[in-house]
Structure 1
Amino acid sequence: MRIVWCTLWFLDYRIPVFQELAKIQGVEFFLVYNKEANPDRVNKKIISALGDRAIPLTGEIYLGKSSFDGFANNGFRIPFQPNLIRTIKGLKPDVMISDGFFQWSYATLFLSATKGIPHVMCYERTMHTERNAQLIRTLYRKTALKFIDSICCSGKLSEDYIRFLGFKKIITKGFMVSDGIPKQNIDSESFVNNKSPLNYLFVGRLIELKGIKELLKAWLIFSNLRNVTLTIIGEGELEDYIIDFVDMNYLSAKVHLKGFVEFDRMGEYYNKADIFILPTLEDNWSLVVAEAMQFCLPIITSIFNGCHFELVTKDNGWVIDPTNLDQFVKILEDSYNKKEFFKEMGKKSFEIIENFNSSSAAQSIYVACQEAIKSKSRS
């Protein structure tokens, strides 16, 4: 089976999945991607991983731009990549894979419609992230589904949205995983040290979407007279807001802003954390939650996070409504009062996330490819 995956961009976490897919017996795997959209470290990693089966393209032209604040459907971007369709077609795929309905999916949709090549779409958005989708977007998606033969979703909440759009064919789940962070020197006894502050860790872009303002408001109330710290990893437009908030509220001992950290160094910070928190206002499937679980951390995340259905239970964390300040503070207090159970909860996180790894993701995608070929042959 010759698989050609066409994607505009990807990050470090995808590379192990590509590698596992390429290892499956009988699979010839090719990746066509935009070299200019990926960081240099990622471009180097993918060439090292796939060699000449990683095919970078350059010179993309596009109209519009993606949403500045990160929220879904607040922007638009219509791309054209010279030689993209010709490149995919020239690889003579038995099946194509695309990411979502937009970006470079126009090429795979065109080839599916005109050449009858089986087409798998990987998809991660949910009913919540698409709650404000314009009618024209929804109509376009429903039309595009006619040229998609199977779909691999991130999880149940993503599947619900695809079914809402009217897709009747096979859906597999589990393609969004992240198990590529180096785990050297993991300290299995670093869960809670009563002599040190309890370290809550946030990782994400510093934008409205991630709920950072809601977190700081709740933290101001919760952290008073408690031996706790909040470590914030990330960069973005709210960095000055965070600095000002910390200064005005005398939180310099309680909040530590670390800025951007390279992917391969993130293990250092997960190791030092006692609990992970991401109060996002909108997320498809937060990979940082999966990363934290691999480092045996309890989780606090939000009802607006598409991964909470599969990844967070009462045994390994809390699911909150970050827009409800009183509830947010109470959950933080509850987590602090249960800190002696963090080690047990962290082990449960690890047990859950063991089922979401690069190998399982590759198998789920492979099954979707098999089903796409069957579906196209039946039609």
Structure 2
Amino acid sequence: MKILFVTNIPVPYRIDFYNELGKKVDLTVVFEAKGAADQGIKFNYNFDEIKNFKAIFLSDGNIKENKINWTIFKAIKGNYDKIVLTSYSYMTEMALLIYFKFKRVPYYLSSDGGIIKYKEQKLRKWYKTFLISGAKGYFSPSDMSDKYLEYYGAKKNVIYRYPFTSYKKKNQIEEIITDIEKEKIKTKLNIKEKYLVLGVGQFIYRKGWDLLLNAMEGISDEVALCLIGGKPTEEYKRIVAEKKLQHVYFMDFMKSEELSEYYKAADLFVLPTREDIWGLVINEAMNYGLPVITTTACVAGQELVQQEENGYLVDSEDLHIITELNCYIKKIIFSKGIREQLSNASLRAIKKYSIENMACSYHEHLREDN
């Protein structure tokens, strides 16, 4: 089976995914560009890792979201059994999608998640419906994403589920890390507090770190909060000063190997996001057996976090969200029994979410759909 994927940039976990899928099919992937200067995230690109698929780059530079790269139409020429598009918001892929619609070329649309905007302008909704509807099939990672696709015109019977993740099976731990081992790693990382609450993600308003910082007020001096994702904003510094938080540490982006040590050392993971169409850090935290607190505005949270089983979901629009975060943090941190129960449940729930299983899911659906 000869498959064509069209996507934006070669994010590392995507290269892993295409390598796995390339073991099963004759795969060509067209990337819009090799980099993305304005995304605020530092990826560790290693193009030598491209092994099991043919990669075509429309540009050696950074992607231009609002400009059409017309070479896309030359790059996709060939005879393919199935074509998969991964985005409709970038101008180049949008132009290709519209071209396929008018030429009646069957294609699939792959989604990493989505949140319905009920209050959006009618014209904008019409245009999104025009772009999303009409695909031969859709790949969706969650119930929320299914509803999103249906809302914008996708037919329910051609929406296929897949386990969205960024981790290979070899990166998933088999058993939760013991308190003794966590203590050793904390010492290695120069974390002097007994417990560690971890948050990972860009330091932007949408991620809700201001909410978490406020929620740390009054929590024991035995608890450290480590936020990894950039340089602290003036607002974060102000909250720390006003609340007299003595055990908050801000850290820049890290390579995955270094970041994994913080996941291993942590006792709890919190993502207080105001909106995340998925949130792969939830997968990452669960892969290390961490209890998770996140919000109802996190699609990964809705799909992977079961209330009181492996963590807690709080309402992102609740006026009392800071109080709720504070209560759940203390409940988990100061009860070893609850913490271990949630940790074990996280490991069980995340097992099927591997790059290998993601590739198998795509392969099965593409092979069976004729």
Given that 1:97 and 1:108 are in contact with CA atoms closer than 8 Å, whether structure 2 keeps it comes out as no
1:285-304 matches, cutoff 5 A: 285-304=278-297
Give the TM-score normalised by structure 2. Answer: 0.84
Q: Which residue of 2 aligns with 1:36?
A: 35
- State the distance in 1 between where 2:52 and 2:23 align: 13
AA partner of residue 195 (structure 2):
L
Deviation at 1:10, TM superposition (A): 4.5
1:187-202 matches, cutoff 5 A: 188-190=177-179, 196-202=193-199
Q: Deviations over 1:90-132 (max 9, x none)?
A: x33222111232214324414522444331111134335x345
Q: Which residue of 1 aligns with 2:87?
A: 100
For residue 217 of structure 2, give the secondary structure of its aligned residue in structure 1. helix
Given that 1:150 and 1:368 are in contact with CA atoms closer than 8 Å, whether structure 2 keeps it comes out as no
Q: Which residue of 1 aligns with 2:72?
A: 84
CA 1:369–1:51 in structure 2 vs 1: closer, same or farther (change >3 Å)?
closer
Note if 1:234 corresponds to 2:229.
Answer: yes
Q: Deviations over 1:116-163 (max 9, x none)?
A: 4331111134335x3454323321222224441100012110101111
Given that 2:169 and 2:355 are in contact with CA atoms closer than 8 Å, whether structure 1 keeps it comes out as no
CA 1:267–1:182 in structure 2 vs 1: closer, same or farther (change >3 Å)?
farther
- Provide the alpha-carbon RMSD of the alignment: 3.0
Given that 2:176 and 2:289 are in contact with CA atoms closer than 8 Å, whether structure 1 keeps it comes out as no
Q: Deviations over 1:16-55 (max 9, x none)?
A: 211221112xx1111111113378965424x422377111
Farther-moved stretch of structure 1 (307-316 vs 103-112): 103-112
AA partner of residue 112 (structure 1):
F
CA 1:4–1:43 in structure 2 vs 1: closer, same or farther (change >3 Å)?
farther
AA partner of residue 140 (structure 2):
C
AA partner of residue 37 (structure 1):
A
CA 1:95–1:79 in structure 2 vs 1: closer, same or farther (change >3 Å)?
farther
Note if 1:206 corresponds to 2:197.
Answer: no
AA partner of residue 161 (structure 2):
K
Q: Which residue of 2 aligns with 1:22?
A: 22
Farther-moved stretch of structure 1 (255-264 vs 138-147): 138-147
CA 1:367–1:311 in structure 2 vs 1: closer, same or farther (change >3 Å)?
same
AA partner of residue 58 (structure 1):
S
Among 355, 359, 363, the residue aligned to 1:358:
355
- State the distance in 1 between where 2:203 and 2:312 align: 22
For residue 144 of structure 1, give the secondary structure of its aligned residue in structure 2. helix
Deviation at 1:350, TM superposition (A): 1.1
CA 1:346–1:187 in structure 2 vs 1: closer, same or farther (change >3 Å)?
closer
1:1-379 matches, cutoff 5 A: 1-24=1-24, 27-33=25-31, 34-37=33-36, 42-45=44-47, 47-50=48-51, 53-58=54-59, 78-89=66-77, 91-103=78-90, 104-128=92-116, 130-168=117-155, 169-180=157-168, 183=171, 188-190=177-179, 196-221=193-218, 223=219, 225-235=220-230, 239-252=233-246, 254-313=247-306, 314-322=308-316, 323=318, 324=320, 325-370=322-367, 374=370
Given that 2:176 and 2:288 are in contact with CA atoms closer than 8 Å, whether structure 1 keeps it comes out as no
- Structure 2 spans left out of the alignment, 5+ residues: 184-191
Farther-moved stretch of structure 1 (326-335 vs 33-42): 33-42
Q: Which has the higher contact order (CA 8 A, sep 6+)?
A: 1
AA partner of residue 178 (structure 2):
E
Give the TM-score normalised by structure 1. Answer: 0.82
Identity of aligned residues (%): 24
Q: Deviations over 1:303-335 (max 9, x none)?
A: 111112321112111111254222222222322
Deviation at 1:180, TM superposition (A): 4.6
CA 1:240–1:50 in structure 2 vs 1: closer, same or farther (change >3 Å)?
farther
CA 1:175–1:131 in structure 2 vs 1: closer, same or farther (change >3 Å)?
farther
Given that 1:62 and 1:80 are in contact with CA atoms closer than 8 Å, whether structure 2 keeps it comes out as no
